[in-house]
Structure formats: C-alpha cells, structure tokens
Chain A
Amino acid sequence: MAKDTVNTEYKLVGTRPNRPDGLDKVTGRARYGADMSMPGMLWGAVVRSPHAHAKIKKIDASKALALDGVKAVVTRDDFPTGLTGEDWNLQENSMAGEVALYDGHAVAAVAATSALLAQQAAELIEVEYEVLPHVIDVDDAIKPDAPAIRPGAADHSVSEGFPPNVVRYIDYGHGDVEAGFEAADLVMEKTYLTEATHQGYIEPHACVGQLGADGKGEMWVCTQGHWFIRYMSSAVLGLDVAQLRVTASEIGGGFGGKTTIFMEPLALALSKKSGGRPVKIVMSRAEVLRATGPTASASMDVKIGMTRDGKMTAGKAVFRMQGGAFPGAPVDMALDCAFAPYDLPAVYHEGFDVLANRPKAAAYRAPGSPMAAFAVESLVDEMCRELGLDPIDVRLKNGAREGTKASYGPTYNRIGLVETLEAAKAHPNYSAPLGPNQGRGVASGFWFNYNGDTAVSMAIAEDGTAQVSVGTPDIGGSRASLAMMVGETLGVPYDKVRVNVVETGALGINEPTHGSRATFATGKAAVVATEQAIAEMCRRAAAEWGIEPEAVEWVDGSAQPAGPNAGKFPPMTIAEIAGKMSTTGGPIAGHYEGFPDGVGVSFGTHVVDVEVDPDTGKTTVLRYLVVQDAGRAIHPAYVEGQYQGGAVQGVGWALNEEYVYGDDGRLQNATFLDYRVPVASDLPMIDTVIVEVPNPGHPYGVRGVGETGIAPPLPAIANAVAAASGQRLRHLPMTPPKVLAAIQAGQDG
C-alpha cells in the first residue's frame, strides 16, 4: 500500500527511541578510524608538496630508509600505469605523478615502527621541485592566459577556443528567456561569489590497511562508503576488487567528504612493500584541510525578471566553479538547483567547470546547491526589497508545485515547497519584533535526494529477534531509523531488531551514506527484505496448519489465518516460527539487491534574524528557523538534528569559513583556529518545523533529510544582513571586516 497520507497508526515510525549505538558512543567504546590497532602494525606518514604547482624532478628517500625501523617508502613509481578517466584522477590525487598540483598534494609515503619515527622519516625524504606558475581564484583560472594546469583534461563538452582550464561546459534551459525579461517590470542582474569551504568533520581521515604479496588485503577505515573505498583503492593499485575486504569503522562525520579515497591506497601500497604488515595512517588536521575535501568556490551571474506584483518572468544563471586541479566541481548540480523552487516560464543555465591549483573537491552536503541558492535567493530578495514585496509571498506566488515543469526539465510530482513556505509564514519567528541593527532574512532551498546501489540482508534469529545487515555507515542515527522501519514492518518491538553495518565481504555493492539516501534507499531495501522474511514465515505457518500460504496473513508479529475460510488456528508468533525453523526448512531471511526507485525531492525554507554591530561588522544570529519537508520523519529527533546541523554548517559558510591562500598558492589557515567553524557560543537554539508531505515512492513516505538544510542559510543570512545593515554582501563569507567595510562604504556613499 502506498502510504500517501500521514498514517498515525504506526507503533514505531514517528517515535523517538534511544539510538542503538548510543551507549557505545557516550562511553568512549565506539571504535572510529584511528581507534584500531592490529598485530605487527606499522605507522605511515605522507610527504606533501609545499608548492601549489611544481614539477617533481627527483625524490631521494635514502636518508629515510637508512633509519632503523623504517620499513618502506612508496612514490608514484609503485603504482600501476595506464589508468583512464576518474580512476586516473583518483590515482593522480592519491599520489602526485610528474607534477604536484596543489599545496598538500601527496608525493611520497613512508611506513615505520612508530608514528613519531614515520613522521621523522617523512621529513628526511628529499624532494626536488621546479616551481611552476599557479592559479587559485576561479575568475583568474578561467582567463585565456591562465597557467594551463592539465592540458587534455577537458571532456567532449568543451569546444575549441575555450580557455585552457575549462574542462566541462554545460548549457540548458527552456522557454524564451529574452521575451521573459521583456515582459518584466524589473530586471536585475548581479554577480555573487562564494569561497571554498571544508566539510569540517571532526574526525580526521584514518585507516589501517594490509595487503599481501598474494594480492589479498584488508582495510579498516572511517568512510561513508566502504564499497567505494574498496573499488577506488583497487582501481588505483590494480587489485582484484573482491580480494580486498573493507570494514567501515564508526565515522566521525563525513558530509560528503568521506565518499572517496585519499591515503587509503598509500597504506595498502606501504603494507605490500613492508611484507604485508598492516599500516595505519591517521591524517593531521592540517593534512585534512590541505589535502582533502573542500568544496568548490564559485563565481555566479544571475539575472531575473519580475513583474511589479512579484511574478517571475524569466531567470538566467551563468556559474563558474573551480573544484581544484581535477574535473568535478558540482556546477551541473548547482545549476539544476538554482531555480528549482520556482515555476518559471523561461530559464537558461550555463556552467563552466574550471581547474585551479587546489585540492580535488569532494562532495559536500547537497553539492552545488548552497552556492546556487546564495546567488538566486539573494537576488530574489534584492528584487523583493526593490518592489516592496514580502519575500515569502513572492515565493508562494512563484513556488513550484505538483505539475510544475522544473527548471531542470521534468515535471514535479508531489512536492512540499509551498507547505514549507506556509509553515514558515505562520511560525512566530516570522512575526517576532526586531530591534535596531536587526534584520530578518528568508530563503528556500532544494535537493534532489538520491537512491543508489543498495544491498541489504535481514535474517530471523532462533528466538524471533531480527538482524539487518546494511552497507551504509551510520553517521547520524540511521541504525535507529532502520530498526524502527524493520520493527514496524515485522510487528516487533524496536529493541528486538539489531542493525549491523557489515563489511564489504558480506553484501553486494552499496553506495555510501550520501545523497540523503540511507533512510530512503537502505530503509526501502530493508523493508523489502523484511517482507520476504515475513512471506517465508507465513509459508512455514501455512505448512504447519496445512493450508495455502495465500490464506495466511501477518499481523502484529504473528502469522494468522487470513479469514474465517482459511481455518481456525491461533496466531503463530514470530518466536514460535523462529524456534522451530531448523526443522521446518532452515534459515529464515530476506534480502534486497537493486537500485531502489521512488526518490522524492525535498525543499526547505529558512527564516533567520541577525544583529549586525555597526561598529565592528560582526553578525550575531539571534533566531533561526528551519522548515523542511521530510516526506516522513521516521525518528523526528534525528530529522531535527539533520536540519539543525545543516543550518549551522550553512551559518559557518555564510559568516566565517573560507580557504585563504597566500600569493604563493599555499593555504594560510590549515587549523581549526584559523578555519573557524561555528562554536556553541556563536549560536542560538535552532528552531525546526518538520513538514510531512509523504513520498509515495517509499513504504513509509521518506524523502531524505540530510542535505537540503545546508542550502538556504547562505542566502537567508545574507538577506538578513542586508535588512539589518542596509548593505548587500554578494561575496561570502560575510566576515566582520567585509561587513564593516560595506557599512562604511555605504555611509560614505
């Protein structure tokens, strides 16, 4: 049955039980990436380029290898050649070849008997560089005369005559954009800039890798997806994928940044060269900031037409994004998200993926959407102010609904944007009084949500309790939501279900916990697997009763005759069926392998109040409201947690966080002191409203909640700062010096 209305009959779905891994995580028992040690283990350290762009002329490891206790050094010479496509990009990023492409790029690695010795040995490896011209900023990198970073990296979309660092070009749209602008009373066009930020997970990357001369290996690693680690490491090293067994540790945050490899293949290569001894590599925070993760920086032109009464007539977006020295800035998804909340008769998008001498961008929560939202939602706000219109009313007037042709092409099914706008408007925060130097900002945001390769297995134990084996690491409480959905389906209490995140040898391939997919895709798969086990239990009961399996139904954890014609038998409980399974046909289990369909997109609307100190330019967040469509909140407390965490990452992106480079192309702020993420004293409580417009494509109506919440904060805060200070900032982050300069320029003007 499609659960297309909000069902209040559920016993578990919608409740807030304690998470099953809570006890381990409050007692320090939970084992994260760096918490594993193995017998005979060595420690690895990585030598990194101090230059933004440099030819590697010579690597001399003789002094390091002469140290007692140093067991192996690897360079790119230890890796196979001939890789192509993204496999080659991954190899090139894991270990530089002829050229170091960014400050922090790995050039060699060493294994030794202690962490201190490995570090000392790394410092003794001598690398001779020839420094090359570099480029950091996206608008510099796209210039025709910019230093060409990787000739030949452009794909089929790039025509002759493009600047050398453009590697991907995208253009699409529909309707007559020029006619739309003609029909408008107000047309505005502005340029918006965002800086690169880091996912900022508190746990640095860590792994223990072991690889023997027989090509068989093992790895323990903190990751969002261990099948990705297995495939990517194998590709980079030329291994048979199934010979590598990868176990995901508990994970200390990922936000997209732990969906790819960094030092994992180095640990395996070092292990192999050390005679198969396990090698542990734990990154320092500086390595995390210099060599992993960051998101793209963006330079974005947006043009919108609007009638006097707030009807949008056309939109145009031209985005330039750099994602480091490799193709893959999320410019396509940014464009898709840019106008997604609006019903536009005409829209046009153009995007450029540009190389720069920075680390390879990794996914970061709704990749591309926050930058796009900053540009479009800021401009919509500027136009609302110009026309004296309420920003929520304008969004309601133009808001995408079921049947709207999405800006990215297809027609929307049932979506919940309007519901979030209405809930935001009705919330007391939207009418709370504001004082001097205070202002309110509103913005909406969008994310697709995603399904992905999914394999799940569930089995009934001898006493009728259930185990569920999944491949999506639990980052924010997914064991709880999965146990709730399985318990609900099976008709057993929550604590009778154990959800295990299992190693790669235990299931078919799984994509990571990314794309807001764990509760949607793994959840849907777990429900299908559970239904198979239920069908089997009904067959066992039918056989015992001597009736047809179709005459048995499953109610509240028991098999029972489906009606009076089926016969009169007392319900047979799951415990009774399980207790004799060995004599009635053996194990009872269910499984799912596939690509679960039925993804439902999600929208959110945020309302934020800030105060801007006119003397210092410092912005203080006074009130924050997140309204987002969850489809269905399985465990509302962890849904709220996603909303709150996403909003606060957005606050950091809007106000503080940025990669700061020197003229030499080196990252200047590779510590948490200088790369300042929001701390508790920066923030108020984060109010939440969970809107539930169930997704008909999921058995319990789930859409996915992880990502959408990071998009609206960037523009919502910029809009609030504009309201509070009278100054529109179009370049994030809105640090106190920038805001103060804008206030002073405004006063001078």
Chain B
Amino acid sequence: MVEINLWSGLRRFTDGELAIEVEATTIGEALDALIAKHPGLAPVIEAGISVAVDGEITTAGRNIPLRPDSEVYLMRRLKGG
C-alpha cells in the first residue's frame, strides 16, 4: 500500500479524506485506484495534474514506480513560461 496525499480542496470528493492508501506500484496504478475508490476525483485527474514523488514533481509518467514508503502528493498541473 502507498499513501497518496491530496490537496485539501479535493476532500469534498473523498468524504473528507486527504491521505488515501491505495494498492499501487506506479503512479498510473495509484491514480486508477484513487478513481476507483472515489469516482468524484476522475474529472480532476483527467483534467491534468502533476504528481510529486519523494519531492520530485512530474506531470506525466504514469509508469513512474512507487514504493510503499514513497511520499506522494497530487498537485495542480504545472506548466512553464
């Protein structure tokens, strides 16, 4: 299991939960598991998000591996100038 931290505004889609444990070995699996548990998150995730894994932020990378002790945060999608 790996813990996925959401930004607090998403709690209305998750019955108030902000840290959700999912069974996942990659970012993609984690996102799919999140949507399975809380379908209200689907439009948020489909609209585009970034994910921070152990402090490093990535925008794509569904195949990026997660370990059980990885620190994972969902973030609003980043872009640059």
A residues near B, CB below 8 A?
155-157, 169-174, 199, 255-256, 259, 332-333, 336, 363-367, 406, 408-413, 447-453, 514-517, 595, 597-599, 601, 697, 706-707
In contact, B79 and A410 (Cβ under 8 angstroms): no
In contact, B44 and A515 (Cβ under 8 angstroms): no
5 A-B pairs with the lowest CB-CB distances in the bound complex, closest first: A515-B80, A256-B81, A172-B7, A332-B76, A410-B52
Tell which of A169, A597, A706 touches B58, judged by Cβ atoms closer than 8 Å.
A597
Q: How far is the CA of A199 from the CA of B5 in the complex (A)?
A: 35
Tell which of A157, A199, A517, A598 touches B56, judged by Cβ atoms closer than 8 Å.
A598
In contact, B9 and A157 (Cβ under 8 angstroms): yes
Query: Which of A173, A255, A451 neighbours the largest number of chain B CB atoms within 10 Å of its CB?
Result: A451
In contact, A173 and B57 (Cβ under 8 angstroms): no
In contact, A448 and B57 (Cβ under 8 angstroms): yes
Question: CB-nearest residue of chain B relative to A199?
Answer: B81
Q: How far is the CA of A595 from the CA of B76 in the complex (A)?
A: 18
Tell which of A409, A447, A599 touches B5, judged by Cβ atoms closer than 8 Å.
A409
Question: CB-nearest residue of chain B relative to A512?
Answer: B80
Can you list 27 A-B contacts with CB-CB less than 8 angstroms, sorted by A residue number?
A: A156-B43, A157-B9, A170-B7, A171-B9, A172-B9, A174-B8, A256-B81, A332-B76, A333-B78, A333-B79, A336-B76, A367-B79, A367-B80, A447-B80, A448-B80, A449-B80, A450-B59, A450-B79, A450-B80, A451-B58, A453-B60, A515-B80, A515-B81, A595-B61, A598-B56, A601-B57, A707-B81
Contacts of B52 in A (CB 8 A): 409-410
Q: How far is the CA of A523 from the CA of B60 in the complex (A)?
A: 19
- Please give the distance in Å from B71's CB to the nearest CB on chain A: 6
Interface string of B55-81 (1 = CB under 8 A from A): 111111100100000010101111111
Q: How far is the CA of A156 from the CA of B38 in the complex (A)?
A: 15
Contacts of A169 in B (CB 8 A): 9
Contacts of B58 in A (CB 8 A): 451, 595, 597, 599
In contact, B80 and A409 (Cβ under 8 angstroms): no
Q: Is B54 interfacial (CB-CB < 8 Å)?
A: yes
Q: With contacts A367-B80, A595-B60 known, what are 13 further pairs, Cβ within 8 A?
A: A155-B47, A172-B7, A333-B76, A364-B81, A409-B73, A413-B54, A447-B80, A450-B59, A450-B78, A451-B58, A515-B79, A595-B58, A598-B56
Contacts of B43 in A (CB 8 A): 155-156
Query: Which of A169, A408, A707 neighbours the largest number of chain B CB atoms within 10 Å of its CB?
Result: A408
Contacts of B79 in A (CB 8 A): 333, 363, 367, 450, 514-515
Q: How far is the CA of A408 from the CA of B75 in the complex (A)?
A: 8
Main secondary structure of the interface of A (DSSP, over half): loop
Q: How far is the CA of A10 from the CA of B46 in the complex (A)?
A: 44
In contact, A336 and B75 (Cβ under 8 angstroms): yes
Q: How far is the CA of A174 from the CA of B18 in the complex (A)?
A: 10
In contact, A599 and B80 (Cβ under 8 angstroms): no
- Please give the distance in Å from A594's CB to the nearest CB on chain B: 9
Q: How far is the CA of A601 from the CA of B52 in the complex (A)?
A: 12
Q: How far is the CA of A409 from the CA of B9 in the complex (A)?
A: 13
- Please give the distance in Å from B67's CB to the nearest CB on chain A: 15
- Please give the distance in Å from A368's CB to the nearest CB on chain B: 10
Query: Which of A409, A447, A452 neighbours the largest number of chain B CB atoms within 10 Å of its CB?
Result: A409
In contact, B80 and A514 (Cβ under 8 angstroms): yes
Q: How far is the CA of A406 from the CA of B7 in the complex (A)?
A: 13
- Please give the distance in Å from B31's CB to the nearest CB on chain A: 16
Question: CB-nearest residue of chain B relative to A333?
Answer: B78
Contacts of A516 in B (CB 8 A): 80
Contacts of A410 in B (CB 8 A): 5, 52, 54-55, 57, 71, 73
In contact, A172 and B55 (Cβ under 8 angstroms): no
Contacts of A599 in B (CB 8 A): 56-58
Question: CB-nearest residue of chain A relative to B13?
Answer: A156
In contact, B55 and A255 (Cβ under 8 angstroms): no
Query: Which of A170, A597, A697 neighbours the largest number of chain B CB atoms within 10 Å of its CB?
Result: A597
Question: CB-nearest residue of chain A relative to B74?
Answer: A409
- Please give the distance in Å from A11's CB to the nearest CB on chain B: 30
Q: How far is the CA of A336 from the CA of B80 in the complex (A)?
A: 13
Contacts of B77 in A (CB 8 A): 332
Tell which of A171, A255, A451, A697 touches B81, judged by Cβ atoms closer than 8 Å.
A255
- Please give the distance in Å from A262's CB to the nearest CB on chain B: 16
Contacts of B9 in A (CB 8 A): 157, 169-172
In contact, B57 and A363 (Cβ under 8 angstroms): no
Contacts of B55 in A (CB 8 A): 406, 410-413
Given A172-B7, A172-B9, A597-B64, decide whether A413 and B56 contact each other with a Cβ distance below 8 A. yes
Q: How far is the CA of A633 from the CA of B16 in the complex (A)?
A: 45
In contact, B59 and A597 (Cβ under 8 angstroms): no
Tell which of A366, A411, A598, A697 touches B71, judged by Cβ atoms closer than 8 Å.
A411
Tell which of A256, A448, A597 touches B78, judged by Cβ atoms closer than 8 Å.
A448
Q: How far is the CA of A706 from the CA of B5 in the complex (A)?
A: 30
In contact, B81 and A514 (Cβ under 8 angstroms): yes
Contacts of A364 in B (CB 8 A): 81
Q: How far is the CA of A408 from the CA of B71 in the complex (A)?
A: 13
Contacts of A172 in B (CB 8 A): 7-9
Q: How far is the CA of A168 from the CA of B67 in the complex (A)?
A: 33
Question: CB-nearest residue of chain B relative to A174?
Answer: B8
Query: Which of B52, B64, B78 neighbours the largest number of chain A CB atoms within 10 Å of its CB?
Result: B78
Question: CB-nearest residue of chain A relative to B63?
Answer: A595
Contacts of B73 in A (CB 8 A): 408-410
Q: How far is the CA of A171 from the CA of B11 in the complex (A)?
A: 10
Contacts of B81 in A (CB 8 A): 199, 255-256, 259, 363-367, 514-515, 706-707
Contacts of A601 in B (CB 8 A): 57
Contacts of A707 in B (CB 8 A): 80-81
Contacts of A697 in B (CB 8 A): 56
In contact, B75 and A363 (Cβ under 8 angstroms): no
Contacts of B47 in A (CB 8 A): 155-156
- Please give the distance in Å from A411's CB to the nearest CB on chain B: 5
Contacts of A406 in B (CB 8 A): 55
Q: How far is the CA of A714 from the CA of B77 in the complex (A)?
A: 25
Contacts of B54 in A (CB 8 A): 410-411, 413
Q: How far is the CA of A333 from the CA of B5 in the complex (A)?
A: 18
- Please give the distance in Å from B46's CB to the nearest CB on chain A: 10
- Please give the distance in Å from B78's CB to the nearest CB on chain A: 6
Which residues of chain B from 1 to 39 have a CB within 8 Å of any chain A CB?
A: 5, 7-9
